[in-house]
Structure 1
Amino acid sequence: MAAVTAVAGVLARLVAAFLLLAAQVACEYGMVHVISEAGGPKGKDYCILYNPQWAHLPHDLGKASLLQLRNWTASLLCSPTDLPAHGFSNQIPLVARGNCTFYEKVRLAQGSGARGLLVVSKEKLVPPGGNKTQYDEIGIPVALLSYKDMLDIFRRFGRAVRVALYAPNEPVLDYNMVVIFIMAVGTVAIGGHWAGSRDVKKRYMKHKRDDGLEKQEDEAVDVTPVMTCVFVVMCCSMLVLLYYFYDHLVYVVIGIFCLASATGLYSCLAPFVRRLPFCKCRVPDNSLPYFHKRPQARMLLLALFCVAVSVVWGIFRNEDQWAWILQDALGIAFCLYMLKTIRLPTFKACTLLLLVLFLYDVFFVFITPFLTKSGNSIMVEVATGPSDSATHEKLPMVLKVPRLNSSPLALCDRPFSLLGFGDILVPGLLVAYCHRFDIQVQSSRVYFVACTIAYGIGLLVTFMALALMQRGQPALLYLVPCTLLTSFTVALWRRELGVFWTGSGFAKDLPQPPWAPAPADSPQPPKDSDAPLSPSPQPPEEELAKSPPPTEQPLEPVTSEEMGATATTQEPGSPGSSTPEPVGRDLAQPDPEAQPGALA
């Protein structure tokens, strides 16, 4: 009996979801084009919500009749006594939404000669519905207009205006998808390349001069299975909390984004600033926190600049005309910083993380509509912002680009196309792992290139699904299979699946050759991280003994004043000295991209 009840409940939810989708199909967005009768400012389009079962609207503005708008909002138009003395001959009345039905309003308007009806609503726009017999009886369009738009019409154009109702066709795919595609694929490619190169450089460049806090490399964090589980649980909890307490938590997320994006922007711009030949002066000696290490003045100016950019976005984040550019720039910097900081040590860890987040994305997009009272997806509702939100704030953890075409959907419902940061970071971690593995096994970037191309193909498939289904899509549903299967296929084809799965192709895991240690008086490796590595296949000791001194100058040569603040020379065997250590065979031909500054 319990099983039958459960099945009946599931079927009831499916029927309710089907009816909801059917109602959404019947309801369509349109436009009302408004111009002033006195010939004032240029005409403007406003969003309307109409039901095509009452009457269809023309798709072309040139075919729509330009009629006088009659402001009749003082009346509810629920009874014949609410009609004007001379009726609405060849006019479109604008009435307030009241207790009577839409059918009663539109029947009275049509009987008095109106050519259409606009109902002003102070609440959320809902489709003006009725039954089939009422649809057959009415021959004029009826649509809902928001109260805010009504006020803007009369403020901008005055009381004497003409309007035309029309509903242009929606394009299959907006051109802004091209911009999002370039930003997403570019971020994944650059971030994966940078993360892989820097990680391998840290393995090779063990003898580096400590030039203050700004020269210290960011330590990468290896993701473990426990961390993956904790991360997914936190994501699920935060998403559910945002769904129920959006207005309270949205400002917390905005604050976190401001701090994280400023840090990411600093991390991305710091390598370029260090290459500048000027403003190398340092902070005087002091005992203040952080400043006691005497950072360079240019790095402090860079930090102030990054904080200022983040603060400017935080203040003007709701300016739809240009604030999205700052948000995308900060978001890309944040993604690059995370790809550089977080590291997946094995393909097994990559597979676990991507599959778990694959299930997470699918569940919260496709399954949660059957579990919520409103029938809406929790993921889409949170990403786009709840329609009943009192703050009208949007989460910033997305790349957003405004629609480049003029359409009702762009004007009414979704003026921006969105792509979440998770759809960039999660596959990007796999791309970074592939690049690290490429460098270590010297595979000519075959894993990195194949995985990056697979990400681009997966993103194109996501856009195609979005165009066909006309609803929000879980991008990881398409990105995870494309990237994982491509990486797996390449490893299987190269017969490296074992080492690729366990990460045992890395230098630290390879057997050490029986080389004799270098003598104590042999030339020491350059301490500065900007000295290039020789591509000679000889062991490091012979390479150091035979190769001439590096000719490339360090990016920040030590001045006499700086030398005075540090130890000048250390004798061989002293605690601060270092000698070459035997390393694995992968050091025999270090990759050129592992050189410092190659991607900085």
Structure 2
Amino acid sequence: MKVQLYAPPTPEFDASVIIMLAIAVFTVAMGGFWSGAAEKAKQSVTALHAGEERTDSGDLTLYSPLKVLLFVVLMCVMLVLMYFFYKYLVYVIIVIFCLASATGLYSCLEALLNAVGCSKLSVSCGEKSFSVRNLLLAAVCITLAVVWGVYRNEDRWIWILQDILGIAFCLNFMKTITLSNYKICVILLSLLLLYDVFFVFITPFLTPNGESIMVQVALGPGAGGEKGGGDVVVPADPTPSYEKLPVVMRIPRFSAWAENLCEMQFSILGYGDIIIPGLLVAYCHRFDVWIGSSNRIYYVSCTVAYTLGLVLTFVIMLLTKMGQPALLYLVPFTLLTSGLLAWKRKEFKQFWAGTTYQVLDSSREPLIPDGDAEYPSTVRKC
């Protein structure tokens, strides 16, 4: 008796890649739009309350190259620690993700309700007042984060909730963390490009099993697959022998569903491939607000560049049949597009300096008014 196992041929292209592309572009576009809208609202508040110091903002601005370098170094150290102490630190990352994703989802839903004009319905209790709407939102967000934490290994359906929480996390990150100028954008994205390439392509020559540190950490020990849209085989057993980090968007491959009932295959994309270029898109939209661009030329151009860079990433992944560090293509596309656009519009100096340029410009104006005719123009500009 002869027994043979038959496996249908797996198609090179799967529709899950299109969905992954749509999720990534939507997240980047919405994160950049939200950041620009927040900057416009901030300017309106500043105009209404001129001279008052704003202290209620929770945004964090990166304006120092030294801080950017320290940030990247800390990322490298954390990744290496995760590689060597994965089974201990993975639970720390899971707890942090639950807290950060619940906070991000709360911020997104609150902004959405404010945009549609939903009232807060405040209730007073003694001297304190509480918003019923905000309490309900907080309860929903915390519940979803706890549900994900409890059922995080139920791969048949939990990927939906993980992607929702991941989108909220990325949106809130891009709105909260702001880059002050294009110089900081160039430094940060270039360093993270080197970081991504090194830990994907170089570290396989340094590890005992020939696996890159990035893939090993992103997918968990013992998991197969590649970073940047590759496939990872996930056993149907709901209790795997290892925990997986919640650092990727996951979309099941539709062709694998029809061919295999015992295991699932996912197309994946790391959060960093969304957040890092998204910070540049957010800066471009804020710059549009600063210069009063009605057509949002920088924001739209950078978003289109991100889309083309991600399409190129997926095309090369399909042609080479191996995962790609997406920042290798996204960083040049977005940086060159925004920089060349600023140069073409003769706004590169202002685009490079960002908010610093505006502060210096405005600080010169009150010193000598333009109407003072007894001083030559060259003195006023000195």
User: If the length of structure 2 is used for normalisation, what is the TM-score?
Assistant: 0.83
- Cα displacement string for residues 294-351 of structure 1 (whole angstroms, at most 9, x for unaligned residues): 2312211111111011001111111122211111111111111111111100100000
Structure 1 Cα separation of the partners of residues 80 and 319 of structure 2: 28
Q: Which runs of 5+ in 2 are unaligned?
A: 50-54, 225-239, 367-382
Tell me the equivalent position of 2:202.
367
Query: How does 1:235-384 map onto structure 2 within 5 Å?
Result: 235-274=75-114, 277=118, 280-285=121-126, 292=128, 294-384=129-219
Structure 1 Cα separation of the partners of residues 117 and 357 of structure 2: 34
Whether 1:457 aligns to 2:298 is no
Contact 1:168 1:407 in 2 (8 A): no
Paired AA for residue 281 in structure 1: S
Tell me the equivalent position of 1:476.
327
Task: Specify which structure has the higher proportion of helix.
Answer: 2
- Cα displacement string for residues 351-409 of structure 1 (whole angstroms, at most 9, x for unaligned residues): 00000000000000000000011011111111111107974211111111111112799
Contact 2:306 2:330 in 1 (8 A): yes
Tell me the equivalent position of 1:74.
none
Paired AA for residue 137 in structure 2: L
Alignment partner for residue 290 of structure 2, among 440, 443, 449? 440
Query: How does 1:382-397 map onto structure 2 within 5 Å?
Result: 382-387=217-222, 391-397=241-247
Paired AA for residue 475 in structure 1: A
Alignment partner for residue 20 of structure 2, among 150, 167, 180? 180
Q: CA deviation at 1:449?
A: 0.8
- Cα displacement string for residues 168-194 of structure 1 (whole angstroms, at most 9, x for unaligned residues): 222222210111111100110110011
Q: CA deviation at 1:469?
A: 2.0
Given the superposition, is the C-alpha separation of residues 495 and 331 from structure 1 closer, same or farther in structure 2, using an over 3 Å criterion?
same
Q: CA deviation at 1:453?
A: 0.4
Structure 2 Cα separation of the partners of residues 310 and 510 of structure 1: 46
Alignment partner for residue 270 of structure 2, among 397, 420, 423? 420
Contact 1:368 1:377 in 2 (8 A): yes
Aligned-pair identity in percent equals 49
Query: How does 1:137-148 map onto structure 2 within 5 Å?
Result: none
Given the superposition, is the C-alpha separation of residues 409 and 439 from structure 1 closer, same or farther in structure 2, using an over 3 Å criterion?
farther
Tell me the equivalent position of 1:141.
none
Given the superposition, is the C-alpha separation of residues 441 and 410 from structure 1 closer, same or farther in structure 2, using an over 3 Å criterion?
farther
Given the superposition, is the C-alpha separation of residues 372 and 407 from structure 1 closer, same or farther in structure 2, using an over 3 Å criterion?
farther
Structure 2 Cα separation of the partners of residues 221 and 416 of structure 1: 34
TM-align CA RMSD? 2.6
Whether 1:398 aligns to 2:248 is yes
Contact 1:409 1:415 in 2 (8 A): no
Paired AA for residue 332 in structure 1: I
Q: CA deviation at 1:226?
A: 2.2
What SS does the corresponding residue of 1:447 show, helix, strand or coil?
helix
Tell me the equivalent position of 1:171.
11
Contact 2:256 2:264 in 1 (8 A): no
What SS does the corresponding residue of 2:245 show, helix, strand or coil?
coil
Range 394-403 or range 413-422, more displaced: 413-422
Contact 1:401 1:418 in 2 (8 A): yes
Structure 2 Cα separation of the partners of residues 406 and 261 of structure 1: 29
Tell me the equivalent position of 2:350.
499
Range 253-262 or range 505-514, more displaced: 505-514
The structure with more radius of gyration: 1
Paired AA for residue 421 in structure 1: Y
Contact 1:380 1:472 in 2 (8 A): no
- Cα displacement string for residues 442-475 of structure 1 (whole angstroms, at most 9, x for unaligned residues): 3321111110000001101111121122222111
Structure 1 Cα separation of the partners of residues 160 and 339 of structure 2: 37
Paired AA for residue 284 in structure 1: C
Tell me the equivalent position of 1:80.
none
Contact 1:283 1:297 in 2 (8 A): no
Contact 2:181 2:356 in 1 (8 A): no
Tell me the equivalent position of 1:593.
none
Q: Which runs of 5+ in 1 are unaligned?
A: 1-89, 91-114, 117-163, 210-215, 287-291, 515-600
Contact 1:195 1:339 in 2 (8 A): yes
Structure 2 Cα separation of the partners of residues 462 and 469 of structure 1: 11
Structure 2 Cα separation of the partners of residues 263 and 339 of structure 1: 13
Paired AA for residue 342 in structure 1: I
What SS does the corresponding residue of 1:418 show, helix, strand or coil?
strand
Structure 1 Cα separation of the partners of residues 248 and 258 of structure 2: 23
Size of the aligned set, in residue pairs, is 343
Structure 1 Cα separation of the partners of residues 39 and 262 of structure 2: 46
Structure 2 Cα separation of the partners of residues 410 and 227 of structure 1: 48
Tell me the equivalent position of 1:545.
none
Given the superposition, is the C-alpha separation of residues 337 and 233 from structure 1 closer, same or farther in structure 2, using an over 3 Å criterion?
same
Whether 1:467 aligns to 2:302 is no
Given the superposition, is the C-alpha separation of residues 343 and 251 from structure 1 closer, same or farther in structure 2, using an over 3 Å criterion?
same
Contact 1:403 1:410 in 2 (8 A): no
- Cα displacement string for residues 159-216 of structure 1 (whole angstroms, at most 9, x for unaligned residues): xxxxx5113222222210111111100110110011022123212313779xxxxxx9
Given the superposition, is the C-alpha separation of residues 298 and 506 from structure 1 closer, same or farther in structure 2, using an over 3 Å criterion?
farther
Given the superposition, is the C-alpha separation of residues 181 and 217 from structure 1 closer, same or farther in structure 2, using an over 3 Å criterion?
farther
